[in-house]
A and B are shown apart, each in its own frame.
Chain A
Amino acid sequence: MSQHKGNDEDQGAAAGKPRNRSYRTFRDGLRVAMSVPGIILFASSAGFGALANDAGLSLFNAVLMMATFFALPAQVVLMDQLARGGSILAGAAAVALTGVRLVPMVVTILPWLRDDRPAVWRQLLALHAVAITAWLEGHRILPGVPENRRMHVFLGIGTGMIMTTLVGTTIGFELAGSVPPVLAGVLLFLTPIYFLLSLMKAATLAMDWLAIVVGSVMGPVFYVITPGFDLLLTGVIGGTICYVAGRRLDAVFEEPDE
């Protein structure tokens, strides 16, 4: 140990101030899965697992869905659509609309992930990990990481988050089938409340709050009028109205809504 230059371990082991511990390696990134955001992600993917069980998916299909999408809203949109016997194409279109929000996430995280020796599989894995939790944690942690270690740390964060959701999905799926109905109901309830509060957490503009209110009202109305296309229409019509109205509001108040 004395000969070996153990910089990474030294920094990490001096855990007097856990807030300031430095992130250097893949394993440091993995450990983020044990933090509060990781635990919330675990609980919400357990909610997804329960929802999947309730909707009639096999455990394999539920885990497959979690792994291939790694974005809970898109998964629930498609699953709910299929479970209600809605059109697959309309479901895919709604999935795409939720997926578009990943574009700006990738664009803004990319400057932190300059890779000096890019390998395609690493790029693809890092991109696949981009979803709200890993994105937020990336933005929180990466600025304090030495430039040449950032890709490693982010891959660790992403891998840890993906594994967390796969385990969470499995546990939620199994629990939903074996606990009393009231507890299963609570598990199912984790998904909508987590989505709703995540939207509120991310809200910075008046437009965001407006979109939350308008979407919640418009969604059920369109569900009754045009089931199967309700999410698509809520997103495009409601979102566009909120965008236009929000831009007007910003012009009036100048200061973004708290």
Chain B
Amino acid sequence: MSGGFLATPEAALIIVLVALLAHEPFRWLGAYLGRGLAGDSEIFVWVRAVATALVAGLVARLVLFPAGVLEAIPLAVRLTAVVAGIAVFLGARRHLGAGVFSAAAVLLALGILAK
């Protein structure tokens, strides 16, 4: 599964199959359950914890072990940008745009300096 595989029609087929079999059904399931289940049921609290931990793990993987071009930017710069983004986000009353923009700006500035 090297190099060009992700550009092939076979990869497109995998994408569509995974979307249709492993992802979209949860939206349909929600519509089915929606008649009998409250949105704040206990099972959903657990679901949220699992999804949150999983996505946080994905973020850490993308930042610590980037697969491509991002690798060229030093780890210290990447981590500094994440911390800056969190700081501005929290300082700006959890403003998503402010946090994302700040992190990107710090990464850009330090990334240029680090060259």
Chain A interface residues toward B at CB < 8 A: 36-37, 39-40, 43-44, 51, 54-58, 60-61, 64-65, 68-69, 71, 73-74, 76-80, 82-85, 88, 91-108, 110-111, 123, 127-128, 130, 176, 181-186, 188-201, 203, 205, 207-208, 211-220, 222-223, 230-232, 234-236, 238-240, 242-243, 246
Chain B interface residues toward A at CB < 8 A: 1-8, 11-12, 14-16, 18-31, 33-34, 37-41, 44-70, 72-73, 78, 81-82, 85-86, 89-90, 94, 96-97, 99-100, 103-104, 107-108, 111-112, 115
* A99→B23 contact, CB < 8 A: yes
Bound: A27/B8 CA distance, A = 37
* A185→B33 contact, CB < 8 A: no
- Whether A100 contacts B68 in the complex (CB less than 8 A), given A193-B100, A230-B61, comes out as no
* B57→A199 contact, CB < 8 A: no
* A219→B115 contact, CB < 8 A: no
A2–chain B nearest beta-carbon distance, Å: 43
* B15→A190 contact, CB < 8 A: no
CB-contact partner of B67 in A80, A182, A211, under 8 A: A80
Which residue on B lies nearest to A219, using beta carbons? B57
B18–chain A nearest beta-carbon distance, Å: 5
7 contacts between A and B (CB under 8 A): A181-B69, A189-B78, A196-B82, A208-B49, A212-B52, A220-B57, A242-B52
* B62→A242 contact, CB < 8 A: no
Which residues does chain A contribute within 8 Å of B6, judged by CB atoms? 55-58, 61, 79, 82-83
> Known pairs A107-B34, A219-B59, A235-B57. 4 more at Cβ < 8 A?
A104-B44, A198-B96, A234-B54, A240-B46
B73–chain A nearest beta-carbon distance, Å: 5
Which residues does chain B contribute within 8 Å of A196, judged by CB atoms? 56, 59, 82, 85-86
Which residue on A lies nearest to B15, using beta carbons? A65
CB-contact partner of B112 in A85, A182, A243, under 8 A: A182
* A130→B69 contact, CB < 8 A: no
Which residues does chain B contribute within 8 Å of A197, judged by CB atoms? 85-86, 89, 94, 96, 99-100
* B81→A243 contact, CB < 8 A: no
Which residues does chain B contribute within 8 Å of A219, judged by CB atoms? 56-61
Which residues does chain B contribute within 8 Å of A40, judged by CB atoms? 96-97, 100
* B47→A82 contact, CB < 8 A: no
CB-contact partner of B54 in A94, A105, A111, under 8 A: A94
Bound: A160/B46 CA distance, A = 31
* A199→B52 contact, CB < 8 A: yes
- Whether A107 contacts B39 in the complex (CB less than 8 A), given A130-B30, A242-B49, comes out as yes
* B30→A105 contact, CB < 8 A: yes
